[in-house]
Every structure is written in structure tokens, then in C-alpha cells.
């Protein structure tokens, strides 16, 4: 969860933006643009009107002040695919995640990469997924086939600089 909706600097800027909007156009509606990213849970639930934050929920379990959260990213679908935005690829459906997960990342020459995963961020028990990957400036596809369908796995890619003439770690 991000804290974009709880950031005191943003809250102060929001007050100034609302005041400027009232001065410039006679209403605070310009604040709605800020709410879309800083409080997407409340905006999607229709609690962004009026745009002065008073309709947003502070109840436990409501994502109004959570900023960008898992639910928001997992709901991102382009409703206007005619604008040549990519459709949701079939490999990103929940059924596709039942036994494997694939992603890719770009590499740089003279670097080595190690993909790691863990099933609980709080534990911090990162485990290597495969061996070290030497960077060569291409995009590397990664597939994890060790999923049980029940897990919520997290991934990271660590990078190390390989001095010229040295073999990357194996």
C-alpha cells in the first residue's frame, strides 16, 4: 500500500489547489484530479464528491486513504481499447496464475541479475529463483512454475556490477 493519501505535504497542497480552483473557476472541482491518484479507492467508490476530502471514509477496511493499492493495479483495464491501448493479456487472468507466473525485465551489459521471491514480505525470507543471469542489454523473460495457486508471491530482481574481464557469478 502506498501512503499518497496520507502524505501531509499532499494534504497541504490539496488545500492550496482547492483554494486556487475556487479563485480561478468558482468551485473546487479541480481537486477531483488530485483525488483520482492520491485516493483512488474513494474515487472509484464515488466518495470524491465534494472534492474537499469530507466524503472519504476513514473506517477500517475502506481503502480511501491507501493511495495506490493492490486492488487498484489489479483492476486496471483499458475501457477504450480503440485508442490502441493494449487489452488485458490472457496470461494476466487469475486462472493463468494458478500454477505459474511470468514477467520480464531489461538488462544492462556488465551486470548480473538474480531473481528472488518470497511468500511473505514480513518474513523477508527471499529465495533465489534460478541462477544468476548475465546482463547483455536484452529483455529477459522469467517464469516461476512453483506456484500452488494459494500463494501470493512477491518478486524482486537484484543487480550486481560485473567488472570487465570477470565472469558473472554462477
Task: Check whether residue 56 and residue 100 sit in a common domain.
Answer: no
124 is a domain residue: yes
- CB atoms under 10 Å from CB of 103, counted, come to 13
Whether 3 is covered by a domain: the verdict is no
- Let me know if residue 56 belongs to a domain: yes
pLDDT at 166: 54
Tally of domains within the chain: 2
Query: Distance from first CA to last CA of the chain, Å, rounded?
Result: 35
> With 80 as the cut, is the pLDDT of residue 14 above it?
yes
Mean pLDDT for all residues in the chain? 75
Nearest by Cα to 118 from 90, 84, 158, 73 = 158
In the predicted model, what is the mean pLDDT of residues 51-55? 80
Mean pLDDT value across residues 66-89: 57
Mean pLDDT of 114-123: 83
Taking residues 29-43, report their average pLDDT: 79
Same domain for 126 and 151, yes or no, is yes
What pLDDT was estimated at residue 131?
92
Instruction: Based on the fold, state whether residues 72 and 107 are members of the same structural domain.
Output: no
| Number of neighbouring beta carbons within 10 Å of residue 40 | 24
**2 found inside a domain:** no
85 in any annotated domain: no
**Structural domain includes residue 51:** yes
Residue 79 has pLDDT above 70, yes or no: no
Q: Supply the pLDDT for residue 96.
A: 52
Residue 136 belongs to domain spanning? 90-161
Amino acid at each position: 500500500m502506498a501512503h499518497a493519501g496520507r502524505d501531509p505535504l499532499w494534504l497541504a497542497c490539496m488545500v492550496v489547489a482547492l483554494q486556487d480552483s475556487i479563485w480561478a473557476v468558482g468551485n473546487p472541482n479541480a481537486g477531483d484530479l488530485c483525488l483520482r491518484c492520491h485516493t483512488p479507492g474513494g474515487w472509484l467508490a464515488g466518495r470524491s464528491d465534494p472534492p474537499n476530502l469530507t466524503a472519504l471514509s476513514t473506517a477500517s477496511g475502506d481503502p480511501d486513504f491507501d493511495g495506490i493499492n493492490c486492488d487498484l493495479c489489479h483492476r486496471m483495464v483499458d475501457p477504450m481499447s480503440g485508442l490502441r491501448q493494449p487489452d488485458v493479456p490472457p496470461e494476466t487472468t487469475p486462472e493463468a496464475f494458478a500454477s505459474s507466473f511470468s514477467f520480464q525485465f531489461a538488462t544492462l551489459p556488465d551486470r548480473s541479475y538474480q531473481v528472488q521471491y518470497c511468500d511473505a514480505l514480513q518474513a523477508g525470507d527471499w529465495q533465489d529463483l534460478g541462477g544468476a543471469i548475465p546482463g547483455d542489454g536484452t529483455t529477459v523473460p522469467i517464469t516461476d512454475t512453483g506456484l500452488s495457486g494459494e500463494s501470493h508471491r512477491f518478486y524482486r530482481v537484484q543487480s550486481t556490477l560485473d567488472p570487465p574481464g570477470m565472469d558473472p557469478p554462477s
